Amino acid sequence: MKLVVVGFGQCGGRIADGFARLNKRARGQRGIEIITGAFAVNTDTADLIGLSTIKADYRHRILIGGEKTRGHGVAKLNEVAAAIAREDGDKVIDAIRSTKRFYETDAFLVVGGSAGGTGSGAVPIMAQMIKERHMDKQVYAIIVLPFEHEEAEKRTIYNTAVCLKSIYSVADAVFLIDNQRYIRKDASLRSNVAKINEMIIEPFYNLLCAGEEKKTKRIGTKVLDAGDIIQTLSGWTAVGHSKSQIGIRLPFGLTSNFMKKSAETHKGVQAMDQTLSELSIQCNPKDAASALYLISAPAQEMNVDLIKELGDYLRDVASEAIIRSGDYPGARGVMNLTVILSQLKDVEKVREYYTKSAGLVEEISKMQQTTASEPSVTEEASKDLPTLL
Ligand SMILES: Nc1nc2c(ncn2[C@@H]2O[C@H](COP(=O)(O)OP(=O)(O)OP(=O)(O)O)[C@@H](O)[C@H]2O)c(=O)[nH]1
Ligand SMILES: [Mg+2]
């Protein structure tokens, strides 16, 4: 599957940059292209300069709202970013259209953090604009939810809720990424967003590559292609990935074929267990109406039993879902498992943002009016003084 990836704001831009690197890796390791274009869009010049892989020209690192913000961002005001995106969005659309292999693109992926200003406000507006102009292609979103420590601030909750509601109504599917879940096991990651970004992006590697493979030895018995992914993705979506070792020599004595096979099958179940416990957002698999898994391991290790066990396990936990699957022959000694749960009818975390922000709407709109119209208390105190200007 080939994507055009457009990241908004700092978080979105960095993740889009990561997808650009993913394409380099696919090209280098496998000789295939999975990203037809990668773009970063921001109201902040400094954040665009900080990227490393997206082409460093104004058509790939796009500044919007330059006249309004002078390139200094929108300081968490997502309604300002939304207005800027509406005004300057055509600049982004034109740039996307100039992608060299645009006609090969299967879908768009827009990315942003929900809690800031630029990503939160621009992602839904741009998703809508892209959708209107390219009705034949799917538009997916990756929305990164804030860390717990950011949630003390009202704006964080409010921006997230408004962004989620808006993007859900325009995108074909929304991948929910809960930042907090990535530091659950390793708190040092809090200060290492680059590492978190790698973890966010990794599940997409095999997923996008599988259907693009050209080499016979890397083509699975059941190829998972763009069609399967498009059929699966809709609405709230969680994604997970695990990597484990496979085909490691067993202890002396456990060498019969039967023992080997059952031990390896057990590995499959373990991997599925681990993947489901590390999904990008906490959810109940029973709430998914569609699901997908892709197993990648050395061809000789992917026996029928292993694949059947994986399918049985997922069918058991995601009992309401239509399940699609694929196998993708990969490197020796490693087993990668990617799982997607989609069309989730309930996501507790999203529901909580909506509930919590309901009480904030009035307060935030009052604050917006205050900053826009009322002079500050300090200025008020100077009203009787003359001015030199
Ligand atoms: N996973 C991840 N999260 C990030 C990254 N950068 C920022 N975030 C999170 O994304 C949210 C939004 O932050 P930014 O992307 O900096 O905000 P922005 O879209 O640039 O908006 P403004 O700077 O307010 O205009 C916050 O919750 C951050 O914790 C990143 O590189 N990776
Ligand atoms: Mg920013």
What share of the chain has pLDDT > 70, as a percent? 92
- CB of 43 sitting under 6 A from ligand 1: yes
Can you tell me which atom of ligand 1 is nearest the CA of 194? 31
226 CA distance to ligand 2 middle (Å): 33
pTM (two decimals):
0.92
146 CA distance to ligand 1 middle (Å): 8
User: Residue 268: its pLDDT value, please?
Assistant: 85
Q: Supply 363's token pair.
A: 């307060």
User: Residue 367: its pLDDT value, please?
Assistant: 75
- The residue to mutate among 6, 8, 11, 114, having the most atoms of ligand 1 within 8 angstroms of its beta carbon, is 11
In the chain the first and final C-alpha atoms are separated, in Å, by: 61
- The residue to mutate among 6, 72, 143, 144, having the most atoms of ligand 1 within 8 angstroms of its beta carbon, is 144
As a whole number of angstroms, the distance between CA 120 and CA 143 comes to 8
Contact 137, 110 (CB under 8 A): no
As a whole number of angstroms, the distance between CA 333 and CA 320 comes to 34
Model pLDDT for residues 110-134, shown as the tens digit of each residue: 999 999 999 999 999 999 999 999 8
As a whole number of angstroms, the distance between CA 194 and CA 189 comes to 9
User: Residue 289: its pLDDT value, please?
Assistant: 98
- CB of 193 sitting under 6 A from ligand 1: yes
As a whole number of angstroms, the distance between CA 281 and CA 348 comes to 10
pLDDT above 60 (res 232): yes
Model pLDDT for residues 312-353, shown as the tens digit of each residue: 999 999 999 999 999 999 988 999 999 999 999 999 999 999
Model pLDDT for residues 25-49, shown as the tens digit of each residue: 999 999 999 999 999 999 999 999 9
- CB of 280 sitting under 6 A from ligand 1: no
Average pLDDT score over residue span 162-189: 91
Q: Supply 332's token pair.
A: 């020796």
User: Residue 376: its pLDDT value, please?
Assistant: 64
User: Residue 381: its pLDDT value, please?
Assistant: 83
Average pLDDT score over residue span 71-85: 92
Q: How many CB atoms lie within 10 A of CB 139?
A: 24
Q: Supply 268's token pair.
A: 């499959």
What is the β-pairing status of strands 334-342 and 290-297? antiparallel
Output the residue whose Cα is nearest ligand 1's atom 13.
116
Output the residue whose Cα is nearest ligand 1's atom 28.
146
Average pLDDT score over residue span 147-174: 96
Average pLDDT score over residue span 66-75: 85
User: Residue 149: its pLDDT value, please?
Assistant: 93
User: Residue 265: its pLDDT value, please?
Assistant: 56
Output the residue whose Cα is nearest ligand 1's atom 17.
116
Tell whether the torsion through CA atoms of 148, 153, 156 and 162 is positive or negative. positive
What is the β-pairing status of strands 235-245 and 290-297? unpaired
User: Residue 250: its pLDDT value, please?
Assistant: 52
User: Residue 324: its pLDDT value, please?
Assistant: 97
386 CA distance to ligand 1 middle (Å): 43
Model pLDDT for residues 185-211, shown as the tens digit of each residue: 676 766 689 999 999 999 999 999 999
Output the residue whose Cα is nearest ligand 1's atom 10.
113
Mean of the per-residue pLDDT values of the chain: 91
As a whole number of angstroms, the distance between CA 365 and CA 289 comes to 37
Model pLDDT for residues 233-290, shown as the tens digit of each residue: 999 999 999 999 887 555 555 555 555 555 655 788 899 999 999 999 999 999 999 9
- CB of 102 sitting under 6 A from ligand 1: no
244 CA distance to ligand 1 middle (Å): 31
pLDDT confidence band for 387 (50 / 70 / 90): confident
Contact 291, 233 (CB under 8 A): no
